[in-house]
């Protein structure tokens, strides 16, 4: 099981490749507010489309880098928009790569927090439910508790950062739960050692 060394190192995934993405801005806002207690390193989700023929020890280099980043992290923060009431393809594709090898995925038991955002008041809640379902299939350590669903996101971002105080407080509370889950991993390590 993964063991925290020093301050928690989290991996961030934004479910959008858009340059001025609100999802990326939420990740950036959280990163700013977490420092120096923890760090979030954003993963590049520009991965090839999943192809089982190309998977295995010789999987594409960017996929191996992506998997390594998850292995090395204490937890994962996913911030996603909703596309057509579902998971954006880019995020689903990344999670499919991360889910393999079957039974040995870097995401198994890894604490994962899901945050959804939307310009609509619904906050991408349907995408959030689908991401959680996918994480359930993978066996990830889904962070439970109040769901972080940020609606009307347009007015909550300034200069590429989430600045809305209430949303930040709520999301940082969920990040606390994620970090607490990672610390429990460390405790389990001690108990098992
Ligand atoms: C293909 C597509 C489908 C979308 N479908 C939804 C949707 O079902 N629900 C929703 O709330 N917003 C939907 N939107 C609007 C996105 O929430 C909005 O574009 C958002 O800003 C995208 O996230 P980003 O800022 O991180 O790129 C859709 C946008 C696109 C491009």
Residue pLDDT, tens place only, 128-162? 999 999 999 999 999 999 999 999 999 999 999 99
CA triplet 171, 147, 127: central angle to 5 degrees? 110
pLDDT at 35: 85
Whole-number Å distance between alpha carbons of 177 and 10: 13
Question: Residue 169 above 90 pLDDT?
Answer: yes
C-alpha of residue 100 to centroid of ligand 1, in Å = 28
C-alpha of residue 123 to centroid of ligand 1, in Å = 10
Maximum CA extent, the chain: 49
Domains in the chain, please, with CATH?
A: 9-192 (3.40.50.360)
Ligand 1 atom with the smallest distance to the CA of 25 is 26
Nearest to 63 by CA among 99, 16, 25, 10: 99
To the nearest 10°, the Cα dihedral for 2, 188, 144, 77?
-20
C-alpha of residue 26 to centroid of ligand 1, in Å = 15
Query: What's the mean pLDDT in 33-56?
Result: 95
Question: Residue 192 above 90 pLDDT?
Answer: no
Whole-number Å distance between alpha carbons of 149 and 35: 23
Nearest CA to ligand 1 atom 23: 81
User: Which of the two residues, 6 and 151, has the higher pLDDT score?
Assistant: 151
pLDDT at 22: 98
Whole-number Å distance between alpha carbons of 76 and 178: 8
pLDDT, tens digit, for every residue of 60-69? 999 999 999 9
């Amino acid at each position: 099981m993964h063991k925290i060394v020093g301050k928690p190192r989290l991996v961030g995934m934004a479910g959008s490749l858009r340059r001025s993405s609100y999802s990326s801005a939420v990740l950036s806002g959280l990163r700013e507010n977490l420092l120096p207690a923890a760090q979030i390193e954003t993963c590049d989700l520009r991965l090839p489309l999943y192809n089982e023929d190309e998977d295995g020890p010789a999987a594409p280099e960017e996929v191996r880098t992506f998997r390594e980043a998850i292995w090395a992290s204490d937890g994962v923060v996913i911030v996603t928009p909703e596309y057509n009431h579902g998971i954006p393809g880019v995020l689903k594709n990344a999670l499919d790569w991360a889910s393999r090898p079957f039974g040995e995925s870097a995401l198994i038991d890894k604490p994962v927090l899901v945050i959804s955002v939307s310009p609509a008041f619904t906050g991408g809640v349907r995408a959030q439910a689908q991401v959680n379902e996918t994480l359930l299939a993978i066996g990830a350590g889904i962070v439970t508790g109040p769901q972080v669903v940020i609606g009307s996101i347009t007015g909550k971002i300034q200069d590429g950062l989430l600045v809305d105080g209430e949303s930040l407080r709520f999301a940082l509370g969920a990040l606390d739960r994620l970090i607490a889950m990672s610390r429990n991993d460390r405790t389990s390590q001690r108990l098992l050692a």
